[in-house]
Amino acid sequence: MNTYSPEELGLDSPAEIHANLNPPQLVEAALRRGEGKLNTTGAVVVTTGKYTGRSPDDKFIVDTPGVHDKISWGKVNRPVTREVFDALKKRMIEYFNGREVFVFDGLAGADRKYTRKFRIINELASQNLFIHQLLVRPTAEELMNYGEPDYTVLCAPGFKCVPERDHTHSEAAIIIDYEAHCILIAGTGYAGEIKKSVFSTMNYVMPLEENVLPMHSSANMDPETGESAVFFGLSGTGKTTLSADPARVLIGDDEHGWSEDGIFNFEGGCYAKCINLDKDAEPEIYGAVKFGSVVENVVMDPDTRELDYFDSSLTENTRCSYPITSISNATDKGTGGIPKVIIFLTADAYGVLPPVSRLSKEAAMYHFVTGFTSKLAGTERGIKEPTPTFSTLFGQPFMPLNPRVYAEMLGEKMEEYNTKVYLVNTGWSGGSYGTGARIKLRYTRAMVTAALNGSIEDAEYRHDDRFNVEVPQSVDGVPAEILNPRETWADKAAYDETADMLAEMFHENFETKYNDMPEEVKKAGPRKL
């Protein structure tokens, strides 16, 4: 199916253009081209080569006068010149010449009031299938009237950058030009770079053009009231798992916007981690691995075609992408009401944060910009074990504007809608990583359920002076000692020393990065005793 000429796509002379194929056609193309194999459930199983996670050191933003003063430049948002971008784009277009090209015209933003159109041009059919499942899929009428896209993405894993020539850090490059409305992804086969580039673009556009708060979050809602809950957190903290609650309706697992009308999913699919995926523990995600889904870097037996989710020999960051409709309790509308509850998820590798605590508006703004967690193995190249980190807004790699912009929007919305915020630690208890144990999922689920149904507000609370949060002293289904982490440590002095160290890390990080935040927010954070 060729519905576009090369000129319409901004290309020169590709051998064949396959535009807006359906999943069966893309599956057939991926198999024909040897990009992957089918497992026993019909999912396309692929390996992504050298890059099995995001490559943050290879990401750049084109620095132009129109965007310069809006971007929070630094180690995350690195500048590159328009000349470098244009030269690389020209070479990538030349690379597409004589090759098959796969095009998907998708949407970002389930609420059509705020939607942006993204045209994805892929070298690989499997990656085109991936983004077809991940973005919002236009209706037949919307596709017929699609017109020009708001943004175009060129993705060519086979094009290897030459740093000396292309002014990149490696053979890979992910470059966003907000003014030219174009994104280049070269040299990496990790499909997550496509979805996160779209997310980074929405995080730039939504606050500036729509007064919408973009959120690196999953979300679900009460099936009766429509009130929603939002789960913030980096990869591996439990966003996907905890939002896939059979008692609630799933809105989305990773990217959302909060407007005056409620929340809406930026995507139309899910990108779930598969490492140690268990049918009994996570039946919804397990069942979503079926025809039309794309499985990345999961080891498959060549004879039986069975997947071994417990084999991390390729990477800890094994993934599966699938349309959100593969989750039985998901809404196909991708929208929900005003959030009643917000959950900040953190995986504390030090094992000293309470497993659940309530935050004031100021404390919520503090922890929002701070974004403390532990990067888990495999989510980025080079991460082999949990590594404590501060990731601004629980999504620093994808947030181009000044953090204060997002934090103030959150505070204003909390106040306007009386939204409750809780900090939930899904990390370690009884000791730090290597000594303690990961907090049991069933306990975390019980705490989240209590927050969602409001019963957690009936508990007696203890103020934790060190971490400056309110800690409930009872939650149904959770042993009382778990709620106070110091009680789970055999060596109480070691707990105090470790907790003081983490509190000081919070203080130093905040003073270094966010000194322009209001004084009342600064005072809402942890403090060394």
Catalytic residue from among 132, 319, 367, 381:
319
Instruction: Name the residue type at position 298.
Output: V
Catalytic residue from among 117, 239, 340, 375:
239
Q: Is 239 a catalytic residue?
A: yes
Catalytic residue from among 63, 254, 348, 464:
254
Q: Is 5 a catalytic residue?
A: no
Catalytic residue from among 18, 48, 52, 54:
54
SS3 of 495, please? helix
Residue 76, CB-side half-sphere exposure with 13 Å CA sphere: 17
Catalytic residue from among 126, 188, 218, 240:
240
Closest CA to 307 of 21, 79, 45, 3: 45
Catalytic residue from among 197, 218, 235, 370:
235
Catalytic residue from among 196, 381, 413, 420:
196
Q: Is 137 a catalytic residue?
A: no
SS3 of 467, please? coil
Q: 35: which 2 tokens?
A: 């990009």
On the 0-12 / 13-18 / 19+ scale of CB atoms within 10 A, 106 is buried
Q: Is 72 a catalytic residue?
A: no
Looking only at the bridges linking them, the beta strands covering 228-232 and 213-221 are antiparallel
The size of the chain, in residues, is 529
Q: Is 463 a catalytic residue?
A: no
Q: Is 235 a catalytic residue?
A: yes
Closest CA to 201 of 267, 289, 280: 267
List, in sequence order, the alpha helices (H) in 380-439: 403-417
Bridge partners for 299 per DSSP: 308
Q: Is 216 a catalytic residue?
A: yes
Hey, CA dihedral for 241, 242, 248, 254, is it positive or negative?
negative
Decide if 501 contacts 388 (C-beta within 8 A): no
Output the CA–CA distances (angstroms, integers) from residue 406 to 220, 331, 344, 398, 411, in the order listed.
Answer: 21, 27, 15, 12, 9
Q: Is 384 a catalytic residue?
A: no
The catalytic residue positions are 54, 196, 216, 235, 239-240, 254, 319
